[in-house]
Structures are given as structure tokens and as C-alpha cells.
A = this chain, B = another copy of it.
Amino acid sequence: MTVSATLPSPPRHLPSRPLRIAILGATGAVGQELLVLLHERGFPVAELRPLASPRSAGQDLEWQGERLRVQPVGADAFEGIDLVLASAGGSVSRQWAPVATAAGAVVIDNSSAFRMDPAVPLVVPEVNPQAAFAHSGILANPNCTTILLTLALAPLAARRPIRRVVVSTYQSASGAGARAMEELRDLSRTVLDGGEPVSTVLPHSLAFNLFLHNSPLQPSGYCEEELKMLHETRKIMGLPDLRLTATCVRVPVLRAHSEAVNIEFEEPFPVMEARELLAAAPGVELIENFETNRFPMPTDVTGRDPVAVGRIRQDLSDPRALELWLCGDQIRKGAALNAIQIAELLRDPAAADAPAGGAV
């Protein structure tokens, strides 16, 4: 009998003791929100280690009354760490996630680096919580627009099969990072003062303007952001053949995304039934008052957790289709909150017992 040396397999669950947590990309918009949420949600933290590229390292952050020095990410940066919350872009994650897992940490990665890797779970805790436990050290946090969309689609898909989805997005500047938000503010002031706005962060000025999402175009004519919505939604919902088309648009809003969603089902779906399902769905808040013409707006969800859904209506052009509208905070549920909810799930597997209808 031979004994072969194997890499240690990381634990599937996170221990229930307070955790030693590294935040990779701590100085970005999502990194900052991770700090806020760890505090707000009383996440048990034994140590908090902010990491960033050498360019951003050296700054001090304050967290729960403590001053924390941002350290440069490097070969030894993950020593003793249980959990890495990574939000520093795809190339940083590709370089450092394997180092972190080799050091024994679990990585929850907010970049697109590993999302479509069949070995990496792509998780929205309200939708496919069971998927989280199949990880091998790395779990991926989906794209913001996809997270918001699946929260609305999953409860409906669990009742009646979806035939096709047509979605148009209204995406805030925050999706392009804190510097894009600042640029929107600055250039808006320029326009108000009668000046000519010149963008340096986004490809065009977003001040009182909007443009199709500027992620790289694929041969299909779709941009990467749109294809993320297609492929990630399929993976999260466990519907590899789902038909979905998206048009992604950047709008001059600071930090909440909106989506106009047309959903064709295989059979008619009574509006009242859809409304009841969505009102009861985890992570969803119904904002829908037909008397006062009041439906979700970005300002309703800014800095808040739930995805707001409303104006659910029978599509007049197709008896089997519904129309609905949703808004969600891009930095919170679209990124930082979802990552922390995945961590909470890995600490408390019992919470995963009631999925809303996603992939296991």
C-alpha cells in the first residue's frame, strides 16, 4: 500500500468560531462596503486584514474603532487566514486566489475570474444555497445585474418553466467602481456650470447622458456584461438551456441598478400568483402601489439589502409572458452583501435547506 501526498482539501464549511478574514481590494467601493457589512451584520471577526495592490497599500482604514493598515497582497499575506473576500478585479483574483486556498483559506471572489469554472460554485444564497457546499476552496460571487435578476426569476421559475427572458438594464456608475461614481459627480457639476464634460474613467461622460455598457464586445455583437447575464443566470438557476437576451446600459445613477424584465413562460402565469410568490421570496421586497403609481426607484434601495420588485403585469403582447421592474443596490446585494451572505451560509449550513428554486 502506498501513501500519496495530496494537497490538503479545504473544509467545505467555515468554522463557527470568529474568523480571521482578509479583504482583498479593501480600498475599493465594494471593499469599503464589505467593511460596513461585516460590522452591521455582527459577523464574528477574530482578525481583519485589509489587503490591496502595492499602489493602494499603506493607507489606514478605520473599522469598529480600530485603525487598520492596508497591507500589500503577497505570498505571505494569507498566513493564518480562514476567509478571503476578494474584490480587486479578475487578474488579481486569478493570481492570488490559488495562493490563498493553498494557505488553507476559503476565497469568495467578486470578480468574473472563476464564475464560469465548472469546479467553482456561483452562488446567490437565496437562489442556490446548496451549490455553495460543492466548493474546492474558491466560490464566485455573480455579476451584480445577474444577482438582482435571479432573485426575481427563481421564485417564478420554481412554479412554471421559463421559456425566454428579455432584459434591459439601467446600471449605475458604481458598477465601474468608486472612481466612476466620483467622475459622474464631477462631470455633472461641469455640465451644470456650463462646461464641457471630459471623462477619464468611463469611456464617455455619464453626466446627463447614458451609453451601452462598455465591456468588450464579442463576435455575437453582445458585450461581456450581457453575456455574463446569460451564462451566469443559466449556471445559478441550473437551467443550461435558458433563453435570455440582455441589453446593458450605463445610466447616470450613483449606486443602484434597475432592470426591465420580460419573462415568457411555457404557459400563462397569473399576475396575482406571481405577485404572491415574489412578495414572499427571500431577498425581495415588493414596492407596488397602482393607486399611487409608486414602484421601485434606485433611491428606494440605495444602502439597503433587498431587491425591490414592482409593476408586475400581464404582457399585452403575449398571453404567456409577464413584465416586471426591479431595482437593487449594486454595491450591496449586487456585490458585497451577497459575498458576505455566502460566508454566512458556509458557517450555518442549516440555512441552506430552503432554496427558492435554483441549481443545487
Contact = CB atoms under 8 A, between A and B. Distances in A.
Interface of A (DSSP majority class): mixed
Interface string A19-36: 000000000000000000
A313 interface: yes
A160 interface: no
A222 B293 CA distance: 11
Interface in A158-173: 164-166, 168, 170
A249 interface: yes
B316 A230 contact: yes
B212 A295 contact: yes
A116 interface: no
Interface stretch (A62-70, A202-210, A276-284): A202-210
Q: How many copies are assembled? A: 2
Contacts of A314: 220-221
Interface of A: 164-166, 168, 170, 184-185, 188-189, 192, 203-205, 208-212, 214, 216-217, 220-223, 230, 243-245, 247, 249, 251-254, 258, 260, 262, 271, 290, 293, 295, 297-299, 311-318, 321, 323, 325
A290 B221 contact: yes
Nearest to A216: B293
Contacts of A317: 164-166, 243-245
Contact of A164 (B188, B192, B313, B318): B318
Contacts of A315: 245
A62 to B, nearest CB: 21
